Chain A
């Protein structure tokens, strides 16, 4: 086999094994981005669900309150007056407590970052999910037709004008396999080019910080307000009813109040931390993808690339040898 062919193959393969590592990183980013988008959406859903529960408890805590878009209370309210009784209260002391879900305006920042990350994931997934062209199938068909045509020509001519015999045997198969492998290498490289394009075009790194900052703000203000509402509702209702309750009912009620108190700090932090962890993993995967696209591989990856290259070179050389056995 000519040395030039081997050298060319070697160059192609060096790029190929690295490209496979790059595509794996792109796959990891895509997976992590999906996980992040799902986690962030679930977080928003949780925030809304807790707000709704708190609102329901708030209205239920006082027979004087009724469900609607809001309840109105007095900024200087004192028991035993009904929480929702604002008759005779000056306008500037009447404050509306919204019973609607957390406003879209408040969620806008976080929703935009989620959409940005989803767009990045979508663009990567489009490249990764792209089906490779079936070069082998096309080649096999072409060789089959050529073989049939040569057989027909030979039959019509009554003598052997074209000797395509070897192509119909193992050699034809080897040619098909070799070309198929080369096309596969080329397509891997093309995919990496497309991934590079996506990565250059979309820079989601600032979105990661924005997402965490948005979620932290939501947690500290709106979500914490839900907890405050729930806690007030439970305490208020309990204070009104405690004298009429049996021990068991009081115990269940206090259990709810205790759970609400626990919710206040620990669980809220844990939820936020869980989201932060997912985003952190995405940020790391994204950085690794960018590093590998820039040719920066970890020692382990370099060893793996070298190993894969050896395996592929041997495989390709054996395919080349199968094409040229008689030479």
Chain B
């Protein structure tokens, strides 16, 4: 991969070299062809700049190498030597085809995945992804669900509770337990499945705008909250099952329930939300 700035610069330079060679080429048809390659190289540079804006370009290295090589051929070509001009034309065409292919693939990939992923990313995130990032700014505008907004100077507590407590898993567990019946192994599998679901869902839903940096702390909190909840529903006490942890089920359930409420009430304060306006 190569940074889009370097790819854009390489194709911009290629455009210039081709245009210069076009100026010095005696054969009119070849001169026009060189200008077409220059036009396409410039257009692709523009598209690449718009599509990647200083990010890494997939297969950008290949495009960069081909553009640099084509530029070199154009710089070294003699305008009155048809063979060298043709070599420059071919090489530029190849470089243009490569970058065009990359851009087409990106466009198709984005059109397939971007809308849903864009809505999904960050939807369950509590802590700011990065100061000033679009995701952080968007969260600022939607954060006050019940509590004060971040602009108000204190955490949006109710929103944080709702985001950190895995309600989807809490709803799933009773169904899973009835499926497992009295099988300890079955219940262990159900719990493992639900934990996996929590982790996978939150891995993507707590990513920042760029699809990176999931909020690991928040994922762990959600998993721990779920495990406490399982205890409060006597999930660790299967009559005759292997998960019986040796404490009376009623007492254990009560203790887990108490711990769950305490945990859910306190934990939002340990996940930092932005407390000052970012802009």
Is B100 a contact partner of A232 (Cβ separation < 8 A)? Answer: no
Q: For residue A91, which residues in chain B have a CB less than 8 angstroms away from its CB?
A: 104
Nearest CB of B to A123, in Å:
17
Q: With A73-B40, A95-B40 as given contacts, are A221 and B35 in contact (CB-CB < 8 Å)?
A: no
Tell me whether A97 and B23 are in contact (CB under 8 A): no
CB of A92 within 8 A of CB of B19, answer no
Interface residues of A in 77-120 (CB under 8 A from B): 77-79, 83, 91-95, 97-98, 103, 105-106
Residues of A close to B50: CB separation below 8 A: 103, 105-106
For B49-82 the 0/1 string (1 means CB < 8 A from A) is: 1100100000000000000000000000000000
Closest to A226 in B: B42
**B255 to nearest A CB, angstroms?**
56
Residues of B within 8 A of A92 (CB): 97, 100-101, 104
What is the minimal beta-carbon distance from B92 to any residue of chain A, in angstroms? Answer: 9
Q: How many residues of A contact B (CB 8 A)?
A: 32
A225 touches B42 (CB 8 A): yes
Asked, given contacts A106-B46, A228-B39, whether A76 binds B93 with beta carbons under 8 Å apart, the answer is: yes
User: Within the complex, what minimum Cβ distance (angstroms) separates B122 from chain A?
Assistant: 21
Residues A239 and B96 in contact in the complex (CB < 8 Å), given A92-B101, A97-B43, A106-B46: no
B38 at the interface (CB under 8 A from A): yes
Does A270 touch B at the CB level, under 8 Å?
A: no
Given A73-B40, A221-B8, A225-B42: A232 in contact with B97 (beta carbons within 8 A): no
A263 within 8 Å of B by Cβ?
no
Which of B24-32, B172-180, B237-245 makes up part of the contact surface?
Answer: B24-32
Whether B15 pairs with A225 at a CB distance below 8 angstroms is yes
Contacts of B16 in A (CB 8 A): 224
Known interface pairs A75-B100, A93-B97; A232-B45 also in contact (CB < 8 Å): no
Nearest chain A CB to B265 CB, angstrom units:
41
Within 8 A of B (CB), among A25-62: none
Report if B12 contacts A (CB, 8 A). yes
A75 to B38, CA, bound (A): 10
- Residue of chain A at shortest CB distance from B31: A235
In the assembly, what is the distance between CA of A242 and CA of B47, in Å? 33
Query: Are B100 and A95 within 8 A (Cβ)?
Result: yes
Which residues of A are interface residues toward B (Cβ below 8 A)? 73, 75-79, 83, 91-95, 97-98, 103, 105-106, 220-222, 224-225, 228-229, 231-232, 235-236, 239, 242, 261, 264
Known: A77-B36, A97-B43. 18 other contacts (CB 8 A): A77-B33, A92-B100, A95-B43, A95-B100, A105-B50, A106-B46, A106-B50, A225-B46, A228-B42, A229-B42, A231-B19, A232-B36, A235-B22, A235-B35, A236-B32, A239-B31, A239-B32, A242-B28
Rank and list the top 8 A-B pairs by shortest CB-CB distance, nearest first.
Answer: A225-B42, A232-B35, A92-B101, A75-B96, A76-B93, A75-B97, A95-B100, A232-B39
CB-defined A-B contacts under 8 Å, sample of 30: A75-B40, A75-B96, A75-B97, A76-B93, A77-B36, A79-B29, A79-B32, A92-B101, A93-B97, A94-B100, A98-B47, A103-B50, A105-B50, A105-B53, A106-B50, A221-B12, A221-B46, A224-B12, A225-B39, A228-B15, A228-B38, A228-B42, A229-B39, A235-B31, A235-B32, A236-B32, A236-B36, A239-B28, A239-B32, A242-B28
